[in-house]
Amino acid sequence: WYDHAFAAPTNPSYDKTADRLDGPGVCGHGVPLAGVNGKPVNGRCGPGTRIPFLVISPYAKVNYVSHTRISQASVVRFIEDNWLHGERLGDGAFDATAGSIMNLFDFTRRRPAAPLLLNGRTGEPLAPDSALHRADVLRALLAAAAALEQSTARAQRRAQLPGNVGRPWSEAEVAQLSAGFRAGESPAALADKHGRTLR
């Protein structure tokens, strides 16, 4: 998903020549935002192109879409609010004004939501009573898949071997092998002639 809509500048530009985001170089109106050491910086005209924000967590709300306006700095704010007692970076960093992502979570739930399993062909959620929700069934399927992969690998290796590998030697073949060896043929040449490997 990609949003091609242009986001109107919301903040004034410090340098209208450098901040040419909307063509004419005008980037908002008023006093530029304070940056490092209280001085304004370029590149702060406002939100850019929208991008999706997905929360993957056992405590994420199920089938929920938030309408809170957030930015990448919202992740920093989430960390600060949860583990740094709300301490901010300062120097005009956007974590101080970024929207919160807390409404995407439900930490009051005692048990995390059940895993969402999807149909591998259609992408649709599996029914709650599907056998694939059972741990023993999943373990059996994983074991079967691993065994099948190993069997396929062995079959592929065997298909690359000469045709007589593993077969017993006939008396005629033993005689031919002995004669070739006495005649000075190399082990590699003898193996190739008889459809065998060197070991």
Q: Please check the confidence at residue 17 and state whether its pLDDT lies above 90.
A: no
CB neighbours of 109 closer than 8 A, spacing ≥ 6?
59
The pTM for the full model equals 0.51
- Answer yes or no: are the C-beta atoms of 117 and 129 closer than 8 Å: no
Q: Please check the confidence at residue 143 and state whether its pLDDT lies above 90.
A: yes
More confident residue, 40 or 156: 156
User: What pLDDT, in 10s, does the model give residues 48-105?
Assistant: 677 889 998 888 898 888 988 888 899 999 999 999 999 998 888 888 888 999 999 9
Half-sphere exposure of 72 (CA within 13 A, CB side): 7
Confidence of residue 2 (pLDDT cuts 50, 70, 90): very low
